[in-house]
Chain A
Amino acid sequence: MGRFVIFLFLMGIVFALPPAPPAVGVEINLLHSNNVTGYLFPCPT
């Protein structure tokens, strides 16, 4: 019973750890477009 309790306690610690932070020095590109409004053919910019 004692060993079982220790096991559960250890499992609790593992699950309580926060997720690893994201890597630093990371570059992410997001492209955004909106309001195509039903046009199939290019509009002049």
Chain B
Amino acid sequence: MFFDGRPKEDPKKVLAKAEIIARAYRKMDPAAMNVGDLDLYQGLDFLKKIAAGNLPLISSNLLHRKDQTPVFPPYLIREVAGVRIAFLGLLAPHLAFPGASGLEEKILVKNPVEAARETLSKISGQADLVILLSDLGMNQDAAVAQAVDGIDFILGGHEGRYLGRPIQQGKTYLFQSSGKGMYVGKLKLTMDGPPGPFLDAGKADHIMKEIQGIDRQIRYYQQPKPAQSPEHANRTLQHLNNRKARLQQELKQVKESPSKGNRFLWSLHALEVSIPEDPEVRKWIEEAGIQRD
């Protein structure tokens, strides 16, 4: 949130922007916010001041170096419509700017898998649903999902991937919502049973879209082209048709499976430039004398 690494940027302007971003987040009233490594760029004292101003910052693996106590709450539990949702937060052990504002001397980042296991054991029985907010990146998210039982969803970041459909790792679903605040990811949960694994209600749509994409490629390779050998085209067509057949079989299974039970639907929504700005936030930006990024 608070990082702008462009070398020629005025540090006072960067700090002013960080404070405006923090105010804007407070206005949005989030349920939970995970600390990422770039959020530490303004220093630990700045982040603690931000958190004290009623921003729900969490981190399950950011510790004080001195006594290895958590810098922020390792988790939050929010109850929504009778469902207790636990939020955990993780960042990667290798900080992008370990020397920034004397961070290395003040903090250490615990191994994410160990921290996740420890936090889950603390909250055992207190939550119906566990969501990990992660700044680890997709590969490490998958490693955590594989190593740690009990996480339902991982809402990831750090890389800013545009993921229109989740990646499944065992019983855990992994998501990312693109980057730079350009999109918001919406995870719609329908709980039709006791707490337990979820099914992807959008899976049939994803498969159909993939089949449509394959059909387009099949039409392309069916048309003879001077620079393309017939053997190569035939091999490609065979591969595409095999893939299409597997997907059609998978689609049939998905459509035949029960539609009841806990399920989710994931979608990404563009925060278009055409969406009206919040006038109060606009005013803060103008008062700070900031006209452009």
Contacts and interface: CB of A to CB of B under 8 A. Distances in A.
Interface of A: 20-45
Contact of B160 (A26, A29, A32, A35): A35
Contacts of B183: 33, 45
B188 A35 contact: no
B176 A34 contact: yes
Contacts of A37: 1, 3-4, 38, 179-181
Interface in B1-45: 1-4, 14, 17-18, 20-21, 31, 36, 38
27 contacts: A22-B191, A22-B195, A23-B81, A24-B192, A25-B190, A26-B82, A26-B83, A26-B189, A28-B80, A28-B85, A28-B189, A28-B191, A29-B187, A31-B186, A32-B186, A33-B177, A34-B158, A34-B179, A35-B160, A37-B1, A37-B179, A37-B181, A38-B293, A39-B293, A40-B285, A41-B292, A42-B181
B251 to A, nearest CB: 25
Contacts of A32: 133, 155, 175, 177, 184-187
Nearest to B160: A35
B12 to A, nearest CB: 14
Contact of A35 (B131, B157, B194): B157
Do most interface residues of chain A lie in helix, strand or loop, or is the interface mixed? loop
Contacts of B176: 34
Given A26-B82, A28-B80, A30-B131, A36 B180 contact: yes
Contacts, number: 132
Interface stretch (B65-73, B204-212, B239-247, B267-275): B267-275
Contact of B182 (A20, A25, A30, A43): A43
A34 to B, nearest CB: 3
A25 B181 CA distance: 31
Given A22-B191, A23-B81, A30-B31, 13 more contacts: A25-B192, A26-B190, A30-B188, A31-B184, A32-B186, A33-B181, A34-B156, A34-B177, A37-B181, A38-B14, A40-B285, A42-B273, A45-B183
Best-surrounded residue of A24, A28, A29, A39 (most CB of chain B within 10 A): A28
Interface string B119-157: 000000000100101010000000000000000000111
Contacts of A24: 191-193
Contact of B180 (A21, A26, A30, A39): A39
A35 B180 contact: yes
B64 interface: no
A31 B84 CA distance: 17
A35 B38 CA distance: 9
A29 B160 CA distance: 21
Best-surrounded residue of A24, A25, A38 (most CB of chain B within 10 A): A38
> 8 tightest CB-CB pairs across the interface, nearest first?
A34-B157, A38-B4, A45-B270, A35-B179, A32-B185, A22-B83, A22-B82, A30-B187
